[in-house]
Amino acid sequence: MPFLHRIVRRLPRPLVAPFTDQRPAARLIRYSAKRYWKLLVLNFSTSLAASLSDGATLGIIFLSVSLISAPENSDWSNVSVLGSLAQVPWLHDWLTGALSTRAGRDGIFVLLLATAVALQGLMAVTSYVNSISTAVMGARLNAEITRKLNDRVLSLSFACASRYRIGDLLNYVGAGGGTVQREISLANGLLMNSLQLIVYLSILVAISPWLLLVAFAMATSMQMVQKTLLPRIRSNSQEQQIVGVELSSHQNEQIQGLRLLHSSGQLESSRRKLKGLLNESKQLSIRQSKLSNVVQPISNMLPIISIALIAALSLLIFRDRSSGVLPSLVTFIIALQRLNQRVGSLTGLATSYAANSASVERLNKILRDDDKEFVRTGGVPFTGLREGILLEDVSLRYRPDLPQALSSIRLSIGRGQTVALVGSSGAGKSSIADLLVGLYDPTGGRILIDGVDLRTIKLASWQQRLGVVSQDTFLFNASIASNIGFGVDDASLDEIKAAAAKAQAAGFIADLPEGFDTKIGERGYRLSGGQRQRISLARAILRKPELLILDEATSALDSQRERLVQQAIEQFERQHTVLVIAHRLSTIVNADVICVLSQGRIVERGHHHELLAQCGLYAQLWSDQSKHPQETSMAVISV
């Protein structure tokens, strides 16, 4: 095996890389390819059959040219091909007799032509089957890899996924399948061209080892060109990847942020940035084209030089052969021309590998595990909140290089209670909500659900019993009924309408042309901010959650609508545990517990009147909002 290992190490890197690379992308490709081993066997068999058919055709060409170029009275008994048939006496005698007459020679010539056509037909069929098998496997792998990458992105924890731009994640999922498909096609091309190259080399050696030096000189020249260009092609391809991802991200963010661009007068700035990225992408694409296509003219020129040298040397090398100069020269030139095509193809494949390497490397980045956190799986299923929630000395740091968002939070939330968190922006209110939803894990302390650590509970079962309404609502480009019923597969239309009524959304829905069947557009852009929030609230109410989280859920409503929605929330609070981030302090005066946060710590807690009597931070905030109700923006969480 050490001998085999040395041979493998000396093979061209693109040829062995798919089999020796231990990075996750290569392992995924190999694992997926094993599932389609039958297609791989078919692929290899057809490659071998096509190569042998083409090689046999060259032998037929040699015999045909020998026939038509030999004098009438030629002695065919000394021809090497006939000598090799001495082991089959009847066939040898028949050919010798047939070649002795003009009619016999013509018949054999026609038979040779028919055989050559049949061999080329066989080669065409096997090449077609080879291409189809490659395409079928590539298509299946494309779908499979795309699904795996989509699952990969969804398996990332929210904290991990939020570090990526949307455009990056879309590119990972959308481009990964194509990258693998190209890699499979390139591997198939390498295999097929390598087999054919071996066949042509064998023919050339049989005809003249000396003239084969010309072929080696040609291959060496191509290798020098390739060695010079491949690093530049690879580097340029990586730059193209970076600019392409940046361009995709900008286009995605530009469309998503149209409202902001229009309202802030930044349309022209966005156009300029896109124009700059497109210009950079164009220049890189032109440079890549120049680098990739310089090989072809050289490949076309070298055979002409080679043929000129061969034609001059063949008179000396082949003149003493019994079959004459012409058959050997013609066969050698055709074989050399085919060899040149294979060398050119292999060079082109190596160039394509270099260009695709940036995509494979990018695929490795999303498939690596060492720099990622994943959604927690397993655990005890959550069936319902019986006692309450306890945050026990909870701390949170979003990244090691950032200060703590929460420090030593102790908070008890009984089942059916209303607890409000009050504080200025950045005090840590939303961080507590994020921890309760399970978007982040505490970096210190623990969250107990009925005495059980949240980290030991099956996360999906917990999250499915939550209802979340945030200030920045997300709606799908679907009907209103579908948006309200999201996550509740068995919800009836009557239940959806009842939830909409409780959320004060039934009135405006009835005024729409198609009612609950109205499509609301991407992210619900056809609705106003207040209408989107009421749809989101109806969705949360329909889930009948154990814990309802309202993150400034009424901030986009006018005073009259807010009062109506607040009444609906208050009715909901009587039977459920609710988490509210409110816009106005007046909406949480009836909370069971109000906690005041400052710099990630709870500095005050108690009922509304108790906190006012303390004349502390809460009293100051209440006073400020009472004096300036339109200027003060407070965030409250009511659980």
Q: Does residue 1 have a pLDDT over 50?
A: no
Domain that residue 52 falls in: 13-367
Angle at 177 between CA 174 and CA 179, to 5 degrees: 100
Residue 100's Cβ-count burial label (10 Å; 0-12, 13-18, 19+) is middle
Q: Does residue 535 have a pLDDT over 60?
A: yes
In the block, tokens 């949170």 appear at 396
Q: What is the pLDDT of residues 231-289, one digit of tens each?
A: 777 777 778 778 877 787 777 777 767 666 766 677 778 888 888 888 888 888 888 77
**pLDDT averaged over every residue in the chain:** 76
27 occurs within a structural domain: yes
Average confidence (pLDDT) over 564-583? 71
619 occurs within a structural domain: no
pLDDT at 8: 44
Average confidence (pLDDT) over 601-616? 91
pLDDT at 537: 86
Q: Do the beta carbons of residue 578 and residue 564 sit within 8 Å?
A: no
538 occurs within a structural domain: no
309 occurs within a structural domain: yes
Q: What is the pLDDT of residues 47-103, one digit of tens each?
A: 888 878 877 777 777 666 666 655 555 554 445 444 444 454 555 555 555 555 666
Average confidence (pLDDT) over 24-30? 79
- Spatial distance between the Cα atoms of 74 and 100, rounded to a whole number of angstroms: 8
- Starting at the edge strand that comes first in sequence, how are the strands of the sheet with 444-449 ordered? 406-414, 388-396, 444-449, 452-453
20 occurs within a structural domain: yes
Average confidence (pLDDT) over 378-407? 90
Angle between helices 493-502 and 559-573 (to 10 degrees): 120
Average confidence (pLDDT) over 356-379? 84
Q: Which residues does residue 421 pair with via DSSP β-bridges, in sequence order?
A: 595, 637
CATH code assigned at 147: 1.20.1560.10
Token pair, residue 584, equals 């106005």
Average confidence (pLDDT) over 317-326? 53
| Amino acid, res. 373 | E
Q: How many domains does the chain have?
A: 1
pLDDT band at residue 406 using 50, 70 and 90 as cut-offs: very high
Q: Does residue 208 have a pLDDT over 50?
A: yes
152 occurs within a structural domain: yes
Q: Does residue 308 have a pLDDT over 50?
A: yes
CB atoms near residue 351 (< 10 Å): 23
What contacts 633, CB < 8 A, 6 or more positions away? 583
Say what percent of the chain tops pLDDT 70.
Answer: 73
Q: Does residue 607 have a pLDDT over 80?
A: yes
**Bigger pLDDT: 76 vs 210:** 210
**Bigger pLDDT: 462 vs 19:** 462
Q: Do the beta carbons of residue 302 and residue 218 sit within 8 Å?
A: yes
Average confidence (pLDDT) over 186-198? 78
Lowest mean pLDDT among 230-239, 457-466, 627-636: 627-636
pLDDT at 296: 61
Lowest mean pLDDT among 81-85, 339-343, 368-372: 81-85
**Bigger pLDDT: 547 vs 25:** 547
Burial 116-144 (b: 16+ CB within 10 A, else e): beebeebbeebbebbeebbeebbebbbeb
pLDDT at 526: 80
**Bigger pLDDT: 631 vs 597:** 597
484 occurs within a structural domain: no
Radius of gyration of the chain (CA): 38
**Bigger pLDDT: 572 vs 215:** 572
- Spatial distance between the Cα atoms of 36 and 184, rounded to a whole number of angstroms: 12
pLDDT band at residue 301 using 50, 70 and 90 as cut-offs: low
pLDDT band at residue 494 using 50, 70 and 90 as cut-offs: very high
CB atoms near residue 492 (< 10 Å): 10
pLDDT at 635: 39
**Bigger pLDDT: 309 vs 537:** 537
Q: Which of 106-120, 224-238, 353-367 has the highest mean pLDDT?
A: 353-367
pLDDT band at residue 588 using 50, 70 and 90 as cut-offs: confident
209 occurs within a structural domain: yes
Token pair, residue 625, equals 């909002």
pLDDT at 297: 67
Token pair, residue 388, equals 């309450």
C-alpha distances in angstroms, 521 versus 36, 248, 470, 475, 533?
A: 41, 22, 19, 9, 15
**Bigger pLDDT: 639 vs 199:** 199
Average confidence (pLDDT) over 507-532? 83
**Bigger pLDDT: 147 vs 212:** 147
Token pair, residue 595, equals 């906690």
What contacts 46, CB < 8 A, 6 or more positions away? 126, 127, 129, 130, 133
| Amino acid, res. 511 | D
pLDDT at 574: 66
pLDDT at 94: 58
pLDDT band at residue 2 using 50, 70 and 90 as cut-offs: very low
